A and B are shown apart, each in its own frame.
Chain A
């Protein structure tokens, strides 16, 4: 895998969730503004945590297994994408569950 090691995990997550768009018509990508409204504040808080943890050397990344594109706060590109890809996968999952079990309300039903 080499430098694609972390990207591989992200690709797996995308492949494992985005097919729900087609198979279950979850329409999360069509509602991307709503999704980003939900993701952005959470991602921001987690990125601050990430930056502090990296600065304290609580965790680190193998430079041989990431693309080597380092963004602000010494956070690798893959890590930023993680906070977009994983939340989208979670939203697609709960929307797919609703498609199968429409009577299981989650609180936004009108």
Chain B
């Protein structure tokens, strides 16, 4: 479950970075959750594409085996952490303008 553990760690780290590391706190913003609501279906669709066609394959020991639309549930955490961290830094960079 190495992917599971790392994905959870990245999810938590991205939330801590947003809320306390940068104090940007996008997690408390309606605009962020609305954006993620738009991104999520595309995330599910692209994850489905990559996994159902076996473009990306996972070692069974690395994941829980719980899958959503063909993709390991870990991929959702991975994507959320990626999107949140980038958007946090995007806002932070904008404050300097």
Which residues of A are at the interface with B, using a C-beta cutoff of 8 A?
A: 1, 5-6, 8-9, 12-13, 16, 34-35, 37-39, 41-42, 45-46, 49, 53, 56-62, 65-66, 83, 86-87, 89-91, 93-94, 97-98, 101, 104-108
Contact = CB atoms under 8 A, between A and B. Distances in A.
A59 B89 contact: no
Contact of B26 (A6, A45, A107): A107
A105 B83 CA distance: 18
Report which residue of A66, A86, A90 has the largest number of chain B beta carbons within 10 angstroms of its beta carbon.
Answer: A90
B66 interface: no
Contacts of B94: 34, 108
Contacts of A1: 53
A104 B57 contact: no
B68 interface: no
Contacts of A98: 31
B16 to A, nearest CB: 14
B86 A91 contact: yes
Interface of B: 2-3, 6, 10, 24-26, 29-32, 34-35, 38-39, 42, 46, 49-50, 53-59, 62, 79, 82-83, 85-87, 89-95, 97
For the complex of A and B, the 4 pairs showing the least CB-CB separation, nearest first, are A108-B94, A38-B89, A58-B62, A104-B31
Given A59-B56, A87-B86, A38 B93 contact: yes
A35 B90 contact: yes
A94 B84 CA distance: 11
B55 A65 contact: yes
A5 B56 CA distance: 10
